[in-house]
A and B are shown apart, each in its own frame.
Chain A
Amino acid sequence: MTIEHQSTESGSMLHRLNPSLKLAGLIIITTGILIYPSWRFSGLLLLLTILGFKVSNVPLHVSKKRIHFLMAFSALLFIFQVLMTANGTILLFIIPKHDLMGPFLPVTDFGIEKGFQMSLRFLLVVFSSMLFVSVTDPTLLAHSLTRLKIPYRYSFALVIALRFLPLFDMENKTVRIAQRSRGISISVQGMSRILRTIRYTFFPLLVSALSRVDALSLSMDGRGFGHSRTRTYLRKSCWTALDSAVLVLLSTLLLASILLTLGFLPQISAII
């Protein structure tokens, strides 16, 4: 397991933004499309997100398999909404009238609109999250969270969790290879086999992981972790004028989605 799409070397504008601001941006975008669930609004934000990938030189198709899954799942969401929505102007029937049977499964304009709304929302949430991960250094994120008065002992937990990922990934592979060499294969045929598969994978990893707790916590305590209310950092996040400008933009976006929902911006809501 690796931290996906990590591209902290690039010096693009998105990379340089404060990590907390980027997290806030991600939350605001997700909240915005939940508050104002228009497919045009979601589509617009999705276009901006894709533009963000371009601007920050992050390849969009990191994993072909994942992109295929995302596209298939968004298509599934679209079909699901179209089939579940009976109201609106009927455009066609999936099963047309034949003699005395049918017609069945109407496709309506409202259903298609809802389909776009949900599938674009899904793609926006996933792609904006991918972009966030690609342009954010987790260590700097932890630091920026401490600047928001979150105690560093808690924000450091994120750093620990992410730092141990490659190790657990390696151990997971080792355990799986060891099982295979002993003739134990993954099986889901019946509950007892599922439990056995999980037991054989989880137990060795758990013992290995928990046996590190003492060494690491004693080492941290020995270095005075948590002794002082503040700590020093090798790398720090900073807040610039650009961050302030982006914060204003994001706040405007959130405010706009609230006003659009409440119907205070009828001219704009007619467009998006």
Chain B
Amino acid sequence: MSNGQNSSITTRNIVTVAILASLGGSLSTFVGYLGNLINLSLGVPFGAGQFMAGLHVFWLILIRVIVAKRGTGTMGGLLKGLVELFTGSTHGLVIVAVSMVQGLLIDLGAEIAGTPHNNSNISRLTWWLSAGVAAASNVFVLQAFYFSGAHWILLTVIALLAFCSGVIFAGYFAWETLEFLKDSRVLSNSFSSTSPFPVSRKRVTYRNLPAIALIIFITVGSLYYTVAVAQVFSDPYSCKVTGLVENPYTYSPQAFVGQEVTVQAELQGVNIHLDPANYTGILLSTILEAAIPMAETTGVRIVARDGYTILLDLDEVMTDTHLLLTEVEDGLWLIASNYDGALWIRMVITLEVY
């Protein structure tokens, strides 16, 4: 088993990658079963299974460490994904993308961490972190395919769960497995063979303590930042003013202090009616004027965070004295008292002049 990063890949390397990818793909059903057991034991329909996400990355880490050559992580990921596709994964082709991205991230992590035969704490920590990142990546790839519009806090919490799983199963447990394989002489002339004697489990635990402590700190810190800090500092009350304007900018109500207007409006939808109420905010015409629309522009496209989009005539917008953006608890609302209820938009994020 070669340790070189650049030497060409041998038949033995290819067979190792293929066999581990095959075993990983074949055991994915077992991993899914464990995930379902965890869901059942916690009484939730899904989500807790992400705690098993690291076990999918475990195989890719083994591949990348045992066959210590550039690109074997990606190759292993692709192969494992194809094996899962051919064995009837319920994610179909998406599982190939998920697995390949994980392999790619492990390859990137391996480039930073250097040779896996280096027993330094920093190197091991980098491997474990890249395993965590690779495990978390599945949340974002699946989100891109199926869960667009999910709240970023929800995604971050699930991703953190997957990250922890990656660190535990594809980091700590993978290293324990590699030590076991080395001790059982299955990895004959390879991985971390600086110590000729079997290493006791206690010693492995002590040696990994600094890495474990740092990872716990990062995980707890990230969770705290996501839930308690980031939400406070992120500004849902801002939106981009773009398109055919001379001065594109990010609108924030604080920049328009003193220009607020109050209008009385009632929402008249097809199936809903909100009684007349007073809404205070900045007129859309004032916001667009600050961006200076170009001469040939005819309309404005208003986009919400969930992708909902409406088009309004620019001339009508610029003369409407009852069309404003107001601050509500979940972001900016477009109050459109002269329009149908469907044009009252929540969570406005973009005003694009065209």
Q: Are A and B part of the same complex?
A: yes
A-facing mask of B90-109, CB < 8 A → 1, else 0? 11111000000000000000
Are A161 and B25 in contact, CB atoms less than 8 angstroms apart?
yes
For residue B46, which residues in chain A have a CB less than 8 angstroms away from its CB? 76
Are B19 and A164 in contact, CB atoms less than 8 angstroms apart?
yes
Assembled-state Cα–Cα distance A216/B13 (Å): 11
Are A198 and B173 in contact, CB atoms less than 8 angstroms apart?
yes
Which among A10-18, A124-132, A237-245 touches the partner chain? A124-132
For residue A90, which residues in chain B have a CB less than 8 angstroms away from its CB? 269-272, 341
B290 at the interface (CB under 8 A from A): no
For residue A154, which residues in chain B have a CB less than 8 angstroms away from its CB? 14, 75
Are B22 and A161 in contact, CB atoms less than 8 angstroms apart?
yes
Q: Given A125-B92, A213-B15, answer yes or no on A161-B21 (Cβ-Cβ < 8 Å).
A: yes
B-facing mask of A1-38, CB < 8 A → 1, else 0? 11111000000000000000000001100100010000
Are B79 and A128 in contact, CB atoms less than 8 angstroms apart?
no
Which of A66, A80, A106, A209 has the most chain B CB atoms closer than 10 A to its own CB? Answer: A209
Are A213 and B86 in contact, CB atoms less than 8 angstroms apart?
no
Residues of A in contact (CB 8 Å), total 85
Assembled-state Cα–Cα distance A39/B225 (Å): 37
B-facing mask of A84-102, CB < 8 A → 1, else 0? 1111111111000000000
For residue A85, which residues in chain B have a CB less than 8 angstroms away from its CB? 149, 306, 308
B26 at the interface (CB under 8 A from A): yes
B-facing mask of A50-91, CB < 8 A → 1, else 0? 000000000000110010011001001100110011111111
For residue A73, which residues in chain B have a CB less than 8 angstroms away from its CB? 90
Are A122 and B34 in contact, CB atoms less than 8 angstroms apart?
no
Are A169 and B26 in contact, CB atoms less than 8 angstroms apart?
yes
Which of B15, B25, B150, B169 has the most chain A CB atoms closer than 10 A to its own CB? Answer: B15
Assembled-state Cα–Cα distance A2/B92 (Å): 16
Assembled-state Cα–Cα distance A26/B92 (Å): 10
Closest B residue by C-beta to A33: B145
For residue A162, which residues in chain B have a CB less than 8 angstroms away from its CB? 22, 83, 86
Are B88 and A66 in contact, CB atoms less than 8 angstroms apart?
yes
Instruction: Point out the residue from A118, A195, A209, A214 that lies within 8 Å of B23, measured CB to CB.
Output: A209
Assembled-state Cα–Cα distance A93/B306 (Å): 18
Are A5 and B88 in contact, CB atoms less than 8 angstroms apart?
yes
A203 at the interface (CB under 8 A from B): yes
A172 at the interface (CB under 8 A from B): yes
**6 closest Cβ pairs, A-B complex:** A129-B92, A4-B88, A87-B308, A160-B18, A161-B22, A217-B12
What are 23 A-B pairs with beta-carbon distances under 8 A? A66-B88, A66-B90, A69-B90, A81-B149, A84-B149, A84-B150, A87-B308, A88-B342, A89-B342, A90-B341, A118-B148, A121-B145, A125-B94, A156-B14, A160-B14, A161-B83, A164-B19, A165-B26, A168-B22, A186-B37, A206-B181, A214-B12, A220-B15
Binding site for A on B (CB under 8 A): 9-12, 14-23, 25-27, 29-30, 33-34, 37-38, 41, 45-46, 55, 62, 75, 79-80, 82-83, 85-94, 144-151, 168-169, 173, 177, 180-181, 184, 186-187, 269-272, 304, 306-308, 330, 340-342, 345-347
